[in-house]
Every structure is written in structure tokens, then in C-alpha cells.
Amino acid sequence: MSELKAPSLQSLLESERGSTDSLLAESLQLDFEDLDDAEFAIPPTDVLPTLEAVLSEFEADSDVASEFGMPVPHATPTPSIGEDSTIRTDGRGGGGSIMRYTLLHGISAQLSSAAERVNAGAASSCAVAAFIAIGTSHGHILNFDVTQTLRWAHQDKHGQGAVASLAFNADSTRLLAGFSRGLVAMLDTHTGDVLRELFDVITPNTGVLHVKWTSRSSLALCADAGGSVWSLSFTRKLGIRGCQSRCLFSGARGEVCAVEPLIMDSQGRHELDQYCIVALATLSKYFIVTVRPRLRVIKYHVLQGPPDCLPLLAWHLVLIQAADTSRSVDPVIVVGRGNQLFFHQLFVSNGRITLLYLRHVQLQGSLLSAHWLGPKCVASLDTAEILHLVDVRSSKELECMDMANAGLVYGSAQFKGLATGGNVSPAFALAGSNACYNSVVSRGTQLYVLGARSLHIIGVRTWSERISFLVKHHRWQEACQLALDGYIASVDRPRKRAQAKERIIMLFKEYIANSARAPEYCLGAIVNCLITVGELDLLWTQLWEKLHNSSTELFLQHISEHIEKETIHSVNPVISQALVDYWLEHSPAKLEQLILKLDWMCLDLNQVLKAVKKHRLFRAQIYLNTQALNDYTAALTELLPLVTPDETDLGNCLLVYVSSCLAGREYPSGEIPVELVHQVKHDVLRCLTSQHSKENAGDELPYPYLRALLKFDTRETLNVISLAFQEREFSNELGISHRKRIINLLLEIMSPENATWAEIGCLLNFIAQQISMQCLPRDRQLLERVLSHLAQEEIANESSRQHSERENAWHELLSSNCLAEISSDEEQLRLAEKAKCYCVVEYLLEKLERYDTILDSYIRNEARHETMFAYMERHVASPKRSIFRQLKRNLRELLTINAKETTRLLSLHYPEKINELLDNLRREENLLYLFLKCLNDRKSELEASQMELLLELYCKMESSSTVEEFLRSNSGYRLENAIAIAESHHLNRSVIYLYEKQESYAKAFELSMELLKSAAGEEAAKEAQTISALLARSVETLPAQELERCWFALLQYILPHQELQSITKSLLHEASQHIDLHNLVQLIMNTHNVSTSFGDIKDLLMGMLDSSRHKTEALRASAGALCQDLHLKFVKRYQHAHRGLWVTTTKCSMCRQRLYDHSQVLIFGGCGHGIHEQCMEESETQFEECPRCFTAIPDQSIGLPRPNKNLISISSSLEMGALQLKAPPRRFI
């Protein structure tokens, strides 16, 4: 055997991707030649007959397989073994119904036996295919078949340590075994014979971590503890079995922890079948690599995670719905590290293999393993040995199961290289502490978990199995919900839908079998299931017969809910009878609702019709008569005699029913079948208009049914007939005759002996409307009769609404020109005026263009008053409308109706006519007053005479306070005239106001005094206070003397009156503000019969004293201040007079002449220079500084009258610096 090592995978990464190397090409060529000569052993022909039968029993239904057309992969058969109660199932997610746990007792027992008897050691690895192979820590390999029977056992003779990894090939004919000391052995699956023993195919002195078969039958991969990956090509030349190994990836550049070839098994139906694809993962990256046809890296990604966690890889074929609504079945790889799972899709796009990221799932704890269980779920085992089932599509955890009791086997020894001396990297050893690559294996929808002495299976139950599980545990509610979910989800797949339906029926039978123990709250769920799948017969027969009293009621309530929701429309007659009895007892109204929704053919008509009559369920009675008996007149013949004015519900119900029938509609909803519409209309109308009832009592009046409706509600009955007249049956010539007949019937029924005038009015208005709408021919006799009614001058008890309807009907007839042949417009006009139908009058006047009197009809029609003003406003500019003339003629009425609006019109459009109109109203003071008042309210700026006229009217018609208010708020009048008007009406307060406005305070005072003298009691007190306020306001106008006189007059009147004692104090106080106090006190003392006491004037006197004292103190203070001021000035002048003289020059600073011997000399302080007073006066300036030396002159300067020569001379000598014997005078500052 020749071994030719190809370039390592790592070296390809460093070079350009996809390039070909001569050495690689040579290697590929060599492999191709070898393949031609390869021959494999013939498979054994002694296949057990029961094998196929056993396998088919556990065939799982895979959506992706059936969708893709692939054969369903055979799951490992599971014998029926009871559950191990020691395994705890968490209640989350599917509530324990999704994952199924089974312990393989047969295999477990034999593992224990092998360990005990032949010292095989604990289990170390396993592989599952058509057989189950388990390797042990002492190099034993046990192979079991599907019946858990040991087929053969193999023991390593070379001391290669534990069995690290096992792998079956695709057809389960070969078993590869990798040992912890580096041996790779190939065994015949059926006989256990060793076919190959390969000692040197991996890195020397390293153990095996993984052995994997690829999609090629002669190619396998092997990963060693050094992190390298080797390809093993099995050869057979001249009958001699051999193997060529080649390093694909060197551990020196990254230690590969996981290897996962992609096994398509699609038999050439997928584009990826031509490739041999492998996924590899190191502690930091993962790679997708093609090994065939040539070695190439497709893609790699960084894969980070905790250092004590290993990467995880798993492939599966998944049906993927792309965004463009295309569907494909492609391999999907799940890559895990830590608590992260990543999903990538592998597909061919434009001839290139592409890896597409799909989604990411994050779990709670760090992961030990990740395996597909079917195309939709991934099972993950975390470091706490809890198995999580994750739904890939929704990224949700469906269920979890605690596997702690399973005794999970870890491959830590292999990762630590214990068998080869621990020659592994520390990172590898650390990460490998949780390695269980070869002790957790998946196949199909089952996960195999290897314990030290046991083998456990966790499978995903199918939908049907889950239902069975829930049923077994009496979880009926969940079972029903799950069953319905499956049925609803299969809405687009008839075959699956049928299967789901069968399963639901089976569930129902299980429920029936356990109904004695089933809780009643699940009854609704069962009912819902059967209704949804349409198996109603099972409800009515098998389920109903099993129920007891209380559950019977519950059942009926559930059925009723479904009837109301219209999920079912019919029930078994037995059920319908029970429903009727039940709801008659509990709620007849609800029974009626149910009857209206049920198909009548499932009802016991005898029972139901008697019940609805007894309980007066009118709608149900109508429904059953029409639907079941096809009798649309029974409702009328049976129920109309029951109608009374108090039976509003029944009456309205029948009105709606008749209207519906005559319109071709079902009651209460739907449509009458087309072929029956005509007959139904005919029957109903004929019944309604029949002359005698069925009973035909001797004393009944003719046409009892129509009469009953009219008596119940004449208006609405006529509305129904009006709607019926619009139907097709009344449109042709025969229909017209039908109309006439009905009209005649109505007229006959509603004669004055049998109907009120209000009802007759409704009828005649109805007829008028029919004629005006061209629904009836113009029958002269009928029109005359109608017109005679419409034109009645007096109708007893006619309401305004009825009168308005009469007018409207008449108006409609006129508008449609139906009355032209009956009488002329003039006659109509006369009739309308007599009948007070002013709308008609208005219409006719408009038609006849008699505009000069049209306003009269508006005025008489109260309902048209508002429209009247709009009419006048609209036509104010049209001469032929004669608006002003009519306004003038009807001014009195218009002002009475709406003075404000009338005034607005006139002032806006006819301001020049106002005086004329005012003259017309001279003799009608009320209207004149109203007119003027409205004009004034509109701020129309009345003339002074008009304003005075308005004032006159105010005085006549309003109260004095209103007049006073008017005077205060207006100012357009002349004061003299206003005073005269007010005086003529003796409105003294208004006169006083006007006097004050005129500033004639004296007159106002005199008049007020007269009012005071005529008043008494409290009124007098108020009057006095008013006068006091008046005098206070007149301070600035009245002379002081006159003001004092007025105050004295007021006080002289008040003081003697005992009843005014309460206000004396306040008046005295007020008076003291304006008049001399001495005179006031004297007045009080001199007045005879003073009624006030000392207490009343005490404050006054004290006020006088205080005032006097204040003035005295003020005078004294003023005098003191003045004296002090004089004293200070005197002191300053005295000091100034005694100040020393300092004269520094003998010449005037201005004229340069000598200073002495002049009359007056001014000496400047500070510098000592002097100036003649005359020179000062001549300069006409005020010196602020010395004209000679420009020194600032202080405030003080001294004048010397006639200074003598000696003084000046002595002073000037000092200037020359001569020393004098006398003391010099002080220099004053």
C-alpha cells in the first residue's frame, strides 16, 4: 500500500482559494483509477423476514420527505417498554407530550452483564443504524439488532484502549471503530469479522476522536486527538483490502474538534449530490469543505464561545420557504457553541455552492450536544444534562426533559489523551471535559443517549402520538386543542386533512370510552372538535347517549353557542327537542334566537310551533310558518287578530314582515327564492285585502286584516303600502288597477264612522302623494274627494303636523299639475285661504305672479315667518315684487312678528323711508315704540327728534328705572327737550339725572329735596344719601357759598326728623368734608328741635378739636422752623462780618485804577484781588473766577464801602515780601 499525502487543508487556505495544485490533481487522478478497481463484499443474503416488518411499524411521517419524494428514513424500532418513572419531565412547552422517553432494557441489561462477567468496562461510545453498536472502555464492541438481541461481540486484542468512536456506513454493512490509542478497525456488521485493522492511518501516538463515513461508500474521515483530520480511502486490489490515508487538515494550524459529513441520501435528485461535503469545527472557527470532486473550502466563519465548550455540528434536509414563494429542500447545518445555535442553508446558486445564514437561537445554558430530530426540531443537551427541544422555525423551546438519571457518558479521556500519555494541548483538554460527541447520537426523529450501563431513547412524538399521550393522561382539553390545531394546519392538504379527521374521530372514541371519568369541562372541546371536522352524527348519537343530567345541560349550552355563532345550522331532532325544552325553561327569548338560526327540518314542528305560540315568540312563529310550512299568510291570519295598540312589539313585527314579503325578502333576513317571490307577494296582498277572516265572525267588519294594521298604526301601514306600490307588480296596467282597488279599500275601511279624522287625514295625504308621484292615475272623482278633504276649513283635533302634511300633499298635487282639471288656480286660491293652507296660497300666488299680496300669506303662516324675511331680503331689489309697498302695508303685522328683523330690513334697504313709516305709526304707540327701540338698538343714529320721541314712548310704556337706564346709555336727545318730556311725565329721578348732566346742580338739588320731603322711612334715608352723593359730585361746579347753603338746607331738614337719626352721623361726617366746621356746629346748636344726641355730634366736635389742634401744631412747627432758619442765616452773616480782610492789590482788576477812595469795592476771597462795584455792574457778568488771576471765586465775597488808603496800602506791601512788625490780618478763606 502506498501512501501519498496530499497538501494539507490548511495550506490551501493560505493559497488562493479554488486553485488547483499539480500534486492534488495527481492525487485525484490516482483515486479515480483506484475506484475503477474497487470491489466490495457481497451483502449477506440471509436477511431476517421480520426485520422489514419491525422497521415499518415505527415509520415516522416526515413532511420534508413526503414533500421531496424521498423515501422516509427508517427509524430504529422501539419495543414496547413502560416508561421509567425516575425520569422527571418538565411541564414547560408541550407539557410532556412532545418528547417520549424509553429505556432500552435489553441492551442495558446486557451492558451490565458484559461489564460484570467479561470485564468489558463501561460503555464509551455508540452508533445507531439498522443495528446498534456500543463500544466500551476496555475495547469491547457489542452489536445489537432491532430486537435488542446481541448479534456479536468483538474484543480488541491489541490493547488499543477504549472504543472512542463508532460509525455505520450507509447500508449498515460495515462498522468503523476508532480506538483511543489510534487503531481504526473495520468490521462486518453481520458477522463481526474484522475486515481491516489500520494502525498507522492517523498521526502517530495519538488517539481517535471521530470516525465518520462520508457520502461516498469507500471514503471515511478520521479525526485524531492531535486535531488533525484524515481521509481514509478504502481500496481492494487483487482481493487484498487496503486503505490510503491523507491528511486534510493539520492540527498544528488549528485543532479540529468536530467532523460532520453531509449525507444527502436523495439518490441523485439534488444538485449537491455530486459533491462530498464535510463540516469541520475547531475551537475558534468552522469550515464547510468539499472533499470530492476536489478539495476546496467553500466558506468558514468565526465561532466563539466559552473555553470549556466544544463546537457542535449537525446536518439535516429541511423544506425552506424562500421570500419569493419558491420552496426547496436543502441541507441546513446547525452550528453550536456555548449557548448559541446558528442555522445556515447550503444550496447551489448560479453553479456555486453557497452558505446562507438563516437564524440564530440562544438558549439558557451551555450545550453539550445539538442534534436534529426531524426537519423542524433540534434537541440540545446542556451542561446540566437537561434536554431541550427547540422549534427551528419559531426559535422557541417546545419542551425540556431532565436526563440526569441517564448516567451520560463523557469522552473526556479521549480529548485529554490519557491513553497516549496526555499529549494534547491544554485548550483541547479543557474543552474536552464536556465532550460527548459519541455518546449522544440521533437517527431520524430519535435521539440515543448512552449511559455507562444503559441506552436511552428520546423520540419526538408525532401529532397522533402526542394526542394519544395526552389521552392516556386524561388531558382531554389539550388533546382536543392539539387535534384541532393539526386539522386546521392541514387545510390545504386533503390527504393529511383526512388523516387528521380520522385521528379526531379516534380521539372522540377514546373520550367516549373514558367518559365516566372525563371531566365535564372538556365537553366543549370535544364538541368543538367534532363540529370543526363535520362529524355531527357522532355528537347526536354516541356522545349524547353517554351524557347525564348535568352534562346534558352543558352539552346543550355548547351546542347553542355553536348555533348562535352559525358554525352549525342543523341538529339531530332529539337534540332539537332537548334544546327547545331546555331554553323554554331558562330563556324563551334565547330559544327564539336559536330557532331563527336553525334549519327548520331538524325541529319537531309540533313541539316548536305550540311553544312559540304559547310564549308569544312572534318572530319564530313567522319564520316557521314561512320557511317550514311555506305559508306566508298564516302569520297574518293568526297574529293580526292579536294586534292591539298595546302590542307594539307584535304590531311592528308584522309591519316589517308585510313590508319584507311585499318587497320579496325573507323575514327576518335573507331573500325569498326567486320562483316563489311572485306567489308570496300575491298571497300576502290577497290575504291582507281579504274581505273576511278565516273565522268570519258574524259581527266583524269587512277587511279585518288590513283594518287591524291600519288601526294599529295608520301612518306606518300606509308607508308599507307606499313601498309596495314601488314594486314591479304595480307598475303595469294591471298593477295600476290593483293600486286603485287598494285605494278604494282604504277609503272604505277608513270611513268617518270607523276612523278618526287624524287617521283619515293620513290616508288622504297618502292618496295625494300617490297621485302627485304619478303612482295613481288621475281619477277625477278621487281627486275631487281628496281635494274636498284637503280644502276643509275646519278639522277637529287636527294637529299642526297633520295640518302641515295636508298642506304638503296639496302642494305636491299642485306641483305635479294634477288638479288643473278639477278647478282653476283662482278657485284653489280661494279654497286654500279658507282652509288656512297658506303654503298652498303662497304657491298659487307665486304661480299667478300676484306678488303684491304674497306677503299676506307669509304673515298668516306662522311656520313660514322665518322664510318670509328671507323672501323679502332676496327680492328687495325687484320692483315687481313690491316689497316696500307690502312692507308698508303690513308694517304693523311685521313688527308684531319680528320687530328686530323688520327693522333690520328697513334700515338696511330703505333708510330714507323711515321717517315716513314713523309718521304712519303715530297713532299706534306700541308699534311705534317697538320700531324706534329696534332702530335704536341697531345703532342707527336716530335724529334728535326721533330720539326724543322714543324717550317720550319710553316714559309712557316703561318703568322709571328703565327710562333712566335709557337716558344713561343714549345721548342723541336734546337736554332741554328731554327734561321737558321727563317733567311732563313726572319722572323726577330722570329729571334729576338730566339736570346733573346739564350741570344744573342747584336745580337737581331742589328737586331732590322735594323727593326727600315726600318720602318716608327707609326710602327717605336712601333719598338723603343720594342727595349727599349729588352734593359731593357738585363740589367742583357749585360755588362754595352755594354748596354750603345746600348742605345747610339738607341738614336743617334732616336733624329734626327722628326717623332719619340713623343717617345723621354719616351725613354730618360727609358735610364736614365740604363746609366750615364752625358754621356747621353753629347750625346744629341753633337748630330747633334737634333730635340728635350728644353722641351723634360727639365725633363732629372731636373732629373739630383735632383739626384745630393739628393746625395749631402745624403753625407752631412752621414758626419754629422759620426762626431757626433766620437764626442760621444770622450766624453765617455774623461770622462773615467778622472775617479778616486780606487785600493783595491796590488796583481794580478791571479798570486798573486805584481801589481806595471809591464808594464801593468788592474784594474776592481767596486771592485778595478787588474790583470796583461799578465795574462789576458794567461788566454785566457774574464772575466765577478772578479776572486777574483766574482763581475760582468762593461763594463768599465781601464788599467794602469806602476803603481808606491805609488799609489798602498796608495790605499790598505784603505782596512785595516786606517784613512788617505788625501782625498781618488773617487770610479769610
Round to whole Å and give the CA distance between 188 and 1037.
143
Q: Which cell goes with 907?
A: 334700515
Q: Is 969 in the site for another protein (CB under 8 A)?
A: no
User: Which segment (239-247, 460-468, 591-599, 1142-1150) binds another protein by CB under 8 A?
Assistant: 591-599
Q: Is 669 in the site for another protein (CB under 8 A)?
A: yes
Round to whole Å and give the CA distance between 285 and 273.
25
Q: Is 606 in the site for another protein (CB under 8 A)?
A: yes
Applying the rule CB under 8 A, the residues between 674 and 703 that interact with another protein are 676
Applying the rule CB under 8 A, the residues between 53 and 82 that interact with another protein are none
User: Which segment (151-159, 629-637, 1022-1030, 1076-1084) binds another protein by CB under 8 A?
Assistant: 629-637
Q: Which is nearer to another protein, 583 or 973 (CB)?
A: 583
Total Cβ atoms within 10 A of residue 1044? 18
Name every residue whose Cβ is closer than 8 Å to that of residue 503 and which is 6 or more positions away in sequence: 463, 464, 467, 483, 486
Q: Is 607 in the site for another protein (CB under 8 A)?
A: yes
Q: Which is nearer to another protein, 158 or 614 (CB)?
A: 614
Contact 917, 888 (CB under 8 A): yes
Q: Is 566 in the site for another protein (CB under 8 A)?
A: yes
Q: How far is the CB of 788 from another protein (least distance, A)?
A: 45
User: Which segment (142-150, 265-273, 453-461, 671-679) binds another protein by CB under 8 A?
Assistant: 671-679
Q: Which is nearer to another protein, 580 or 1038 (CB)?
A: 580
Q: Which is nearer to another protein, 599 or 941 (CB)?
A: 599
Round to whole Å and give the CA distance between 724 and 1162.
134
Q: Is 533 in the site for another protein (CB under 8 A)?
A: no
Q: How far is the CB of 897 from another protein (least distance, A)?
A: 51
Q: Which is nearer to another protein, 537 or 925 (CB)?
A: 537
**In this chain, which of 52, 193, 537, 1059 binds another protein, going by CB under 8 A?**
537
Name every residue whose Cβ is closer than 8 Å to that of residue 1085 and which is 6 or more positions away in sequence: none
Round to whole Å and give the CA distance between 1020 and 1060.
8
Contact 454, 106 (CB under 8 A): no
Q: Is 779 in the site for another protein (CB under 8 A)?
A: no
**In this chain, which of 57, 671, 826, 1019 binds another protein, going by CB under 8 A?**
671
Q: How far is the CB of 494 from another protein (least distance, A)?
A: 21
Round to whole Å and give the CA distance between 1185 and 915.
86
Name every residue whose Cβ is closer than 8 Å to that of residue 792 and which is 6 or more positions away in sequence: 835
SS3 content of the chain, % helix, strand, coil (to 5): 50, 15, 35
Q: Is 565 in the site for another protein (CB under 8 A)?
A: no
Partners of 357 in the beta sheet?
Answer: 344
Task: For residue 175, give the DSSP letter.
Answer: E
Contact 848, 829 (CB under 8 A): yes
Q: Which is nearer to another protein, 473 or 610 (CB)?
A: 610
Q: Is 299 in the site for another protein (CB under 8 A)?
A: no
Q: Which is nearer to another protein, 609 or 1004 (CB)?
A: 609
**In this chain, which of 610, 885, 968, 1127 binds another protein, going by CB under 8 A?**
610
Q: Which is nearer to another protein, 601 or 944 (CB)?
A: 601
Q: Is 670 in the site for another protein (CB under 8 A)?
A: yes
Q: Which is nearer to another protein, 637 or 945 (CB)?
A: 637
User: Which segment (7-15, 49-57, 669-677, 976-984) binds another protein by CB under 8 A?
Assistant: 669-677
Q: Is 597 in the site for another protein (CB under 8 A)?
A: yes
Applying the rule CB under 8 A, the residues between 136 and 175 that interact with another protein are none
Q: Is the dihedral of CA 356, 358, 364, 370 positive or negative?
A: negative
First-last CA distance in the chain: 142
Round to whole Å and give the CA distance between 1008 and 1012.
6
Q: Which is nearer to another protein, 596 or 1054 (CB)?
A: 596
Q: Is 609 in the site for another protein (CB under 8 A)?
A: yes
Round to whole Å and give the CA distance between 1053 and 559.
103
User: Which segment (602-610, 804-812, 1147-1155, 1184-1192) binds another protein by CB under 8 A?
Assistant: 602-610
Applying the rule CB under 8 A, the residues between 737 and 776 that interact with another protein are none
Q: Which is nearer to another protein, 235 or 693 (CB)?
A: 693
Q: Which is nearer to another protein, 664 or 1170 (CB)?
A: 664
Q: How far is the CB of 775 from another protein (least distance, A)?
A: 27
Rg (CA), the chain: 63
How far is CA 115 from its chain centroid? 70
Q: Which is nearer to another protein, 682 or 834 (CB)?
A: 682
Q: Is 515 in the site for another protein (CB under 8 A)?
A: no
**In this chain, which of 9, 98, 457, 624 binds another protein, going by CB under 8 A?**
624
Q: Is 638 in the site for another protein (CB under 8 A)?
A: no
- DSSP per-residue codes, 624-677: HHHHTS--SSHHHHHHGGG--TT-HHHHHHHHHHHHHHHTTB-SSSSB--HHHH
Round to whole Å and give the CA distance between 192 and 175.
9
Q: Which is nearer to another protein, 534 or 752 (CB)?
A: 534
Q: Which is nearer to another protein, 415 or 582 (CB)?
A: 582
Contact 371, 314 (CB under 8 A): yes
Applying the rule CB under 8 A, the residues between 888 and 917 that interact with another protein are none
Residues binding another protein: number (CB under 8 A)? 36
**In this chain, which of 40, 199, 300, 600 binds another protein, going by CB under 8 A?**
600
Q: Is 1029 in the site for another protein (CB under 8 A)?
A: no
Considering only the C-alpha atoms of the chain, give the largest distance between any 2 of them, rounded to a whole number of Å: 177
Q: How far is the CB of 655 from another protein (least distance, A)?
A: 19
Round to whole Å and give the CA distance between 773 and 767.
10
Half-sphere exposure (Cβ direction) of 1055: Cα atoms closer than 13 Å: 23
Q: How far is the CB of 504 from another protein (least distance, A)?
A: 16
Q: Is 569 in the site for another protein (CB under 8 A)?
A: yes
Q: How far is the CB of 660 from another protein (least distance, A)?
A: 12
Q: How far is the CB of 566 from another protein (least distance, A)?
A: 7
The vertex-292 CA angle with 336 and 376, nearest 5°, equals: 35
Partners of 333 in the beta sheet?
Answer: 315, 344
Q: Is 673 in the site for another protein (CB under 8 A)?
A: yes
How far is CA 587 from its chain centroid? 37
User: Which segment (228-236, 593-601, 651-659, 1019-1027) binds another protein by CB under 8 A?
Assistant: 593-601
Contact 99, 460 (CB under 8 A): yes
Q: Is 578 in the site for another protein (CB under 8 A)?
A: yes
Round to whole Å and give the CA distance between 221 and 231.
5
Contact 419, 162 (CB under 8 A): yes
Q: Is 605 in the site for another protein (CB under 8 A)?
A: yes
Q: Which residues of 231-265 are buried (b: 16+ CB within 10 A; e: fewer)?
A: bbbbbbeeeebbbbbbbbbbbebbbbbbbbbbebe
Round to whole Å and give the CA distance between 245 and 5.
7
Q: Is 577 in the site for another protein (CB under 8 A)?
A: yes
User: Which segment (605-613, 932-940, 963-971, 1078-1086) binds another protein by CB under 8 A?
Assistant: 605-613
**In this chain, which of 25, 601, 1131, 1229 binds another protein, going by CB under 8 A?**
601
Q: Which residues sit at the interface with another protein, rule CB under 8 A?
A: 537, 545, 566, 569-570, 572-574, 576-578, 596-597, 599-602, 604-607, 609-610, 624, 627-631, 634, 666, 669-671, 673, 676
